[in-house]
Amino acid sequence: MYKSLLQNFITTILAVFSVSLVLFILQVSPLEIYNNLFDGSFGNLDKISRTLLIATVMALAGFALIITFSAGLWNIGIEGQMLFGAIGATFIARTILGELFFAPVIIIIFGGIFGSLLGLLSAFLKIRFNVHEIFGGLGINFVASGLIVYLVIGPWKREGIASTGGTDLFPAASWINGFGESNFPVYPIVIAIFIFLLLFTLLSRTSLGLRLIATGANTDAADKFKIDAGKFIIYAFIFAGAIGGIAGSIQASSIHHKLVPGIAGGYGFLGILIALIAGRNLFTVVIISLVFASIMVGGVQLQLRLGLDSSFPYIIESVFVMAWLIIKASKVDAKLLRFIIKKEGNFE
Amino acid sequence: MKIEFKNISKSFGKVQANSKISFTISTGSIHAIIGENGAGKSTLIKILSGQILPDEGSIKLNNKKMILGSTQEANKKRIGILGQDPLDFSNFTVLESFLAGGNKSSVIVSKSKIEKIISEFSKKFDWEIDVNSLIKDLSVGQRQQLELIRLLYLGAKIIILDEPTSGFSLDQKKKVFDNLRELAAKGYSVILVSHKIEEILEICTKVTILQNGSVLQTLDLPVDPKLLIKKMFGKSSEITNNLTPSFIMNNNNNAKNLSLEIKEFSSEEKIKLAEGTIIGVAGLQGSGSDKFIKSFYSYSPQSKVYSDEITSVEYSNITYVASDRLEKGLFPDMTIKEHIALMYNSKSLINWSNTLELTKNLINTYGIVGNPETLAKNLSGGNQQRLMLALIKENTKLLLLEQPTRGLDIGSAKFVWENLFQTRSKKNLIIFSSVDLDEIYDYSDYIICFYDNKIVSTGYKNVLSKSIVMEKISGN
Amino acid sequence: MSSLELTFITIVSMSAPLIFAVIGETITERVGIVNLSLEGTLLITALASFAVTIWTDSLYLGIISAGLIGGLIAFLIVLINFRFYINQIAVGFIFTIFLWKLSSYLGGDFVRIPGPYLDEISVPILKEIPFLGPVFFDNNILVLSSIILIPLSWFFLFRTKFGVNLRAVGENPSAADARGLDVMKYRFIYSFVGGVLIGIGGATFSLEVKYGWSEGHTLNYGWIALAIVIFGGWNPVRGSVGVYGFGILQVLSLKLQSLTIGFSQILPLIPFPLMILTLVLIQSANKNEGRWFPKPIRLLILGNQPQSLGITYKKDS
């Protein structure tokens, strides 16, 4: 435990070093960047609230991907599942249900249902027609985003104006608000914690979760254990789609308060990066989501103070993930750890 | 071309596949390499053809050392290999597959020229190959024929045939052999790896017998076929009489009758047996014995075991233990405890403390060296097999074992069988395959012999003698 | 010049970048490698070609540098996959995000600079052919090369020794190795070649289709190209038919824009459901259930994915 923590710490330092090197090559000062990122994301309560909200959405996307990664699947369709969740949320907000005082609950549930339907489509294409989930998911993402454009300029357009700027705002009852007067995203955080606990239980305590992992670990062996791989692939996609859909509905009803094209904000794709690092570890997802969210939110400050492009957060994040994977694969961190432990041993 | 193997050694993990192999194949000879499964034949062949780099040793061709571990070098030295499973490209047309990798063709593919070449060779051997069909639509035999044509066309000077002739009819075989003799006379070297003694005696001039990865002997042919069989099967050919007393013969009286439905593999549709029988399926590698074992394991299986006239053993009561333990039977990155939970936990919530207790018990009972948190991939082969045994559920009626002691040392193998014998009375039937005749004779009651994907002989072991089984599974 | 001619000239020249990208990716995938970074590679090479052209005042240097960068990216993906066994999809995905965002950072200084563009060249005799002449042979060098590339790449892949060997490596690397082909060498070389073509595709975009640079200049073209490669059944000719079909749709949408608002936004998405449909059809046609397709249609939709596509190659021993 202590050893693997230390090893991950070494990996993190090396990866941050790689990021700094790239920043240096791009002729910006890494220190100034990190400083501004921290200040921009944790500088005051408002910034912290924003960071936490984004982190929640990212963590949900990461959780969704952990489920599918566990089952050995590349759920590139996560973006589309989030988009569909947002569509589900908007659908409810536009009906009479959206006026009810518990509208946000219905919105979240419908977001989950819509997302899981899209997950199911990926699973269906994979199992029935052997369409790889990467290409199926990629296609579905674009179809989903096309559907949103269609809805926004078609049936759900604003009174009189058809623009891609989005639908009308949700009725106030359908908003997921912050805590009291602040923006502190207490409800999204509660949802994320609930899903965290649910997944933690699922993966570590239930037979269903263990079989899901077994399916991903070795399909041939799963057959000998009488585990029907197809069934668990479907489960994985339904779970992942539902969690992605919930993330999308939070985007719609807590951040934008309406449906806009590209509402997933690329967080689904960032979720893939997060899951690449986290493997099957839910805690790591939470930590990396926090870090990535602070980079995203702090990135706004980079734009304002340093005049840097809004693309900077993504550059930092992608370099970090690539570096992390290469360091792990080349076992540089393990070698360094052994070296350090040996050194310590000599001192004692 | 003269080929000298000198001190070739190669090990895979703990398994010594080749150890200090030295012998010479002289120019213009047709040289046979024989040996039991696991004797090291295919490793040696793969070393000669550059697919595997040996740990030590050298190969000289006409007194010149060749670079090892490079298929490019082997191709340059005109070494051509025709394998059991032809190395070709299933989605390609015959023409394309024929061309791939060849260094003789022109840059721009000339379809008519290649067509002419293939049809000329085909005529010579009486073969029919449609140049425009896809490789995946050809039979294995046709694919081998095409490969042979390709090797001859490319001008291979050393031709390795690794168990190739199952795809040829008798008549075609004769023509191929005639051609090989002709080539040998021109100074080519032909290496034939085969189990078919008859074939070897017919065309080979010399034979090298491998045993446990080393050279047992190189003999000039012809010799007495019985002697060759005896040498090939090594120790197992010595007829032993101290067989384990057969369960069936002692308890036959009140045992229920079962029947096996095996349409796919035999003209006889059913075999009737007593409950509790252990069936040993004998056959050399690639004989179909493993396929036979697998054919029982599915929701809708090809082969079935009926416990009476109508009811067959249900899928949920069948356990199948694969020979590729880590690849097909276990989850390399999961712990022993997780394996136990997967197999024994029937509730939706897992009680890990109970599972831990059970795991500890099973680890003790089966003597697994490891703790509940050990990953399956970190267990030794013997311990992986012990874990597999621990994972056989009580309610198993039909136990299918694919080469249950493959790669195990004697101690582990003995443990496996002691354990299986203890539980046999609770099972309806145990079916196992093995390439080791000793194992078949020591532990089975009933023997099924496999050759070329078909059952060639069956019988209780007191009826079927070891020498007959040996001949049957060698295709004689 | 008739308006129909003009329309087709637009389609052919607009499609040129996608032709390069689709054929580049087809070659890459035929040798068994998935270069998923297309979206990012197209963006960064579109920017690079434009920037180099402005710095050096040479269009050709711009094109060459874009090609080299495209090849280098592909080479890196194969290298990381081969050296560290990190999944090609993962590496390609990370590269996509990195290059995409890098292009918008580095491109900041180049936004809205009026761009240089290529002069028209025409093929002497061929351009006299009615209709086909002006559409295909009276154009600039990149468009002309994109047209020539279609039959050329097809011929290379299916009618030359090198093409057969390349595809053999992508189908069954161990069999290819046994026949003396150096699998990794083939993968490195042809991924590089494919990457160069993709890079030239990026250059074509900023030097020929949409002069200059803007953020997200080639947005979604990379993903579209990936979809069309599958639609084309890993065949350059069929893929190009897909590209031109897409071009026709695009031109149509420009004409219809005034009639149906938003059609132009949904239009770029059409290749994706088609891609899924193609995959479904390919899989069904390969299976028994596909037998009900009439034979000509079966032959048309049959397209075999290279068997070792995306699978990390390890030589046993």
Q: Which band of pLDDT confidence, cut at 50, 70 and 90, is reported for residue B246?
A: very low
Chains near A, with 3+ CB pairs < 8 A?
B, C
Per-residue pLDDT reduced to its tens digit, C234-286: 999 999 999 998 888 878 777 776 666 666 667 777 778 877 887 787 777 76
Per-residue pLDDT reduced to its tens digit, C167-184: 999 999 989 998 989 999
* Phi then psi dihedrals of residue B304, to 5 deg: -135, 155
Within a domain: A77: yes
> B274 - beta bridge partners?
B257
The residue with tokens 């359908």 is A174
CB C35 within 8 A of CB C74: yes
pLDDT of residue B235: 56
Chain A residue numbers touching B327 (CB-CB < 8 A): 218, 220
CA A237 to chain centre: 15
> B433 - beta bridge partners?
B281, B402
| Binary contact (C279, A153; C-beta < 8 A) | no
Measured between CA atoms, the residue of chain C closest to residue A311 is C101
CATH of the domain at C276: 1.10.3470
Flag whether pLDDT at C189 surpasses 90.
Answer: yes
Where helices occur in chain C by DSSP H, the ranges are 3-30, 38-56, 59-84, 88-106, 132-137, 141-159, 161-171, 173-178, 183-204, 221-231, 236-256, 263-266, 271-286, 295-301
Within a domain: C306: no
What's the half-sphere exposure (Cβ side, CA atoms, 13 Å) at C304?
A: 18
The CATH topology of domain B247-473 is: Rossmann fold (3.40.50)
Angle between helices A282-301 and A30-42 (to 10 degrees): 100
Measured between CA atoms, the residue of chain B closest to residue A211 is B342
CA distances (Å), A99 to each of A258, B239, C160, in order? Answer: 14, 89, 68
ipTM of the assembly?
0.89
CB A90 within 8 A of CB A170: yes
How far, in Å, CA of A120 to CA of C120, rounded? 51
CB A221 within 8 A of CB B330: yes
How far, in Å, CA of A137 to CA of A144, rounded? 10
Within a domain: C307: no
Q: How many structural domains does chain A have?
A: 1
Picking from C97, C273, C279, the nearest residue to A269 by CB comes out as C97
Chains near C, with 3+ CB pairs < 8 A?
A, B
Picking from A206, A217, A220, the nearest residue to B328 by CB comes out as A220
| Amino acid in the structure at residue A262 | G
| Token pair belonging to C268 | 């770029």
Q: Could you give the maximum distance between any two Cα atoms of chain A, in Å?
A: 78
pLDDT of residue C200: 96
CA of C254 vs chain A CAs: smallest distance (Å): 17
Picking from C159, C176, C307, the nearest residue to B91 by CB comes out as C307
B interface mutation test: which of A224, A228, A280 has the most B CBs within 10 A?
A: A224
Within a domain: A345: no
- SS3 of residue B279 by DSSP: strand
Picking from A125, A269, A272, the nearest residue to C276 by CB comes out as A125
| Token pair belonging to C10 | 């637009």
How far, in Å, CA of C223 to CA of C221, rounded? 5
CA of C154 vs chain B CAs: smallest distance (Å): 12
CA of B350 vs chain A CAs: smallest distance (Å): 5
| Amino acid in the structure at residue C50 | F
- SS3 of residue B79 by DSSP: strand
pLDDT of residue A347: 44
Flag whether pLDDT at B192 surpasses 70.
Answer: yes
Question: Could you tell me which residue, C288 or B220, shows the higher pLDDT?
Answer: B220
Flag whether pLDDT at B140 surpasses 70.
Answer: yes
Flag whether pLDDT at C287 surpasses 70.
Answer: no
Lowest mean pLDDT among B63-77, B139-153, B257-271, C238-252: B257-271
pLDDT of residue A207: 93
Within a domain: C308: no
Could you list the pLDDT tens digit for every one of the 348 residues in chain A? 678 888 889 999 999 999 999 999 988 889 988 998 998 888 888 899 999 999 999 999 999 999 999 999 999 999 999 999 999 999 999 988 888 888 899 999 999 999 999 999 999 999 988 888 888 998 899 899 889 988 988 888 887 776 778 888 888 888 888 777 778 888 999 999 999 999 999 999 999 999 999 999 998 899 999 999 999 999 999 999 999 999 999 999 988 888 998 888 789 999 999 999 998 899 999 999 999 999 999 988 888 888 788 888 999 999 999 999 999 999 888 888 888 887 766 543
Flag whether pLDDT at C11 surpasses 80.
Answer: yes
* Residue B457: burial class (beta carbons within 10 Å; 0-12, 13-18, 19+): middle
Which of A 207-246 lie inside 8 A of B, CB atoms? 207-208, 210-211, 213-214, 217-218, 220-221, 224-227
pLDDT of residue B400: 93
Running DSSP on this structure, what letter comes out for residue B17?
A: E
Within a domain: A124: yes
A interface mutation test: which of C43, C91, C109, C266 has the most A CBs within 10 A?
A: C266
**Around Cβ B40, how many Cβ atoms within 10 Å?**
26
A interface mutation test: which of C79, C110, C272 has the most A CBs within 10 A?
A: C272
pLDDT of residue A279: 86
| Token pair belonging to B63 | 């007194």
> C130 - beta bridge partners?
none
Where helices occur in B345-436 by DSSP H, the ranges are 352-365, 381-390, 410-423
| Binary contact (A139, C227; C-beta < 8 A) | yes
Per-residue pLDDT reduced to its tens digit, C194-203: 999 999 999 9
Chain B residue numbers touching A224 (CB-CB < 8 A): 320-322, 328-329
* Phi then psi dihedrals of residue B458, to 5 deg: -140, 155
Where helices occur in chain A by DSSP H, the ranges are 2-25, 30-42, 45-70, 78-93, 103-129, 133-153, 186-205, 207-217, 219-224, 229-250, 267-278, 282-301, 312-330, 332-347
Flag whether pLDDT at B369 surpasses 60.
Answer: yes
Measured between CA atoms, the residue of chain B closest to residue C316 is B52
Flag whether pLDDT at B6 surpasses 90.
Answer: yes
CA of A221 vs chain B CAs: smallest distance (Å): 4
* Phi then psi dihedrals of residue B261, to 5 deg: -100, 120
B380: left (phi over 0), alpha (psi -120 to 50) or beta: beta
pLDDT of residue A112: 96
Chain C residue numbers touching A130 (CB-CB < 8 A): 283
CB C148 within 8 A of CB C134: no
In what side-by-side order are the strands of the sheet with B429-434? B318-321, B398-402, B429-434, B277-282, B446-451, B454-460
Within a domain: A268: yes
B interface mutation test: which of A201, A215, A225, A235 has the most B CBs within 10 A?
A: A225
| Binary contact (C262, A273; C-beta < 8 A) | no
pLDDT of residue B253: 52
Picking from B316, B322, B350, the nearest residue to A210 by CB comes out as B350
CA of A346 vs chain C CAs: smallest distance (Å): 32
What's the half-sphere exposure (Cβ side, CA atoms, 13 Å) at B324?
A: 10
| Binary contact (B105, C161; C-beta < 8 A) | yes
CB B405 within 8 A of CB B434: yes
Residues 6+ apart with CB under 8 A from C264: C253, C254, C257
The CATH topology of domain B3-232 is: Rossmann fold (3.40.50)
pLDDT of residue B191: 92
Chain A residue numbers touching B328 (CB-CB < 8 A): 218, 220-221, 224
- SS3 of residue C211 by DSSP: coil
| Residue B105 contacts C, CB cutoff 8 Å | yes
Domain with CATH 3.40.50.300 in chain B: 3-232, 247-473
Picking from B320, B334, B345, the nearest residue to A217 by CB comes out as B334
Flag whether pLDDT at B410 surpasses 80.
Answer: no
CB B36 within 8 A of CB B232: yes
CB C212 within 8 A of CB C40: no
Q: Rounded to the nearest 5 degrees, what angle is found at the Cα of A159, between the Cα atoms of A153 and A165? A: 45
Q: Which domain holds residue A68?
A: 44-281
| Residue B348 contacts A, CB cutoff 8 Å | yes
| Token pair belonging to A1 | 């435990």
A and B: number of Cβ contacts within 8 A: 53
Question: Based on C-alpha coordinates, what's the Rg of chain A?
Answer: 21
Per-residue pLDDT reduced to its tens digit, C57-99: 888 899 999 999 999 999 999 999 999 999 899 999 999 999 9
Q: Which domain holds residue C86?
A: 3-301
pLDDT of residue B255: 60
| Binary contact (B109, C178; C-beta < 8 A) | no
How far, in Å, CA of A162 to CA of C261, rounded? 8
How far, in Å, CA of B410 to CA of B102, rounded? 46
Within a domain: A211: yes
β pairing state of B158-162 and B189-193:
parallel
CA of C93 vs chain B CAs: smallest distance (Å): 25
Picking from C86, C280, C284, the nearest residue to A329 by CB comes out as C86
- SS3 of residue B64 by DSSP: strand
Most confident of A193-202, B246-255, C108-117: A193-202
Q: Which band of pLDDT confidence, cut at 50, 70 and 90, is reported for residue B238?
A: very low
What's the half-sphere exposure (Cβ side, CA atoms, 13 Å) at A87?
A: 26
Per-residue pLDDT reduced to its tens digit, B269-289: 788 888 888 899 998 777 788
| Residue B345 contacts A, CB cutoff 8 Å | yes
| Binary contact (B350, A205; C-beta < 8 A) | yes
* Phi then psi dihedrals of residue B32, to 5 deg: -95, 145
Lowest mean pLDDT among A224-233, B337-346, C205-214: C205-214
B interface mutation test: which of A201, A207, A212 has the most B CBs within 10 A?
A: A207
pLDDT of residue B237: 47
| Residue C154 contacts A, CB cutoff 8 Å | no
Picking from C89, C265, C273, the nearest residue to A143 by CB comes out as C273
Picking from B52, B101, B108, the nearest residue to C165 by CB comes out as B101
Picking from B343, B348, B349, the nearest residue to A225 by CB comes out as B343
| Residue B465 contacts A, CB cutoff 8 Å | no
Instruction: Calculate mean pLDDT across residues B109-126.
Output: 86
Instruction: Calculate mean pLDDT across residues B169-198.
Output: 82
pLDDT of residue C165: 95
Flag whether pLDDT at B193 surpasses 70.
Answer: yes
How far, in Å, CA of B89 to CA of C78, rounded? 23
| Binary contact (C276, A308; C-beta < 8 A) | no
Per residue in C225-255, is it b (16+ CB within 10 Å) or e — as a string?
bbbbbbbbbbbbbbbbebbbbbbebbbebee
| Residue C272 contacts A, CB cutoff 8 Å | yes
CB C234 within 8 A of CB C305: yes
Flag whether pLDDT at B250 surpasses 50.
Answer: no
* Phi then psi dihedrals of residue A214, to 5 deg: -60, -40
Residues 6+ apart with CB under 8 A from A310: A299, A300, A303, C104
Q: Rounded to the nearest 5 degrees, what angle is found at the Cα of A337, between the Cα atoms of A336 and A341? A: 120
Q: How many structural domains does chain C have?
A: 1
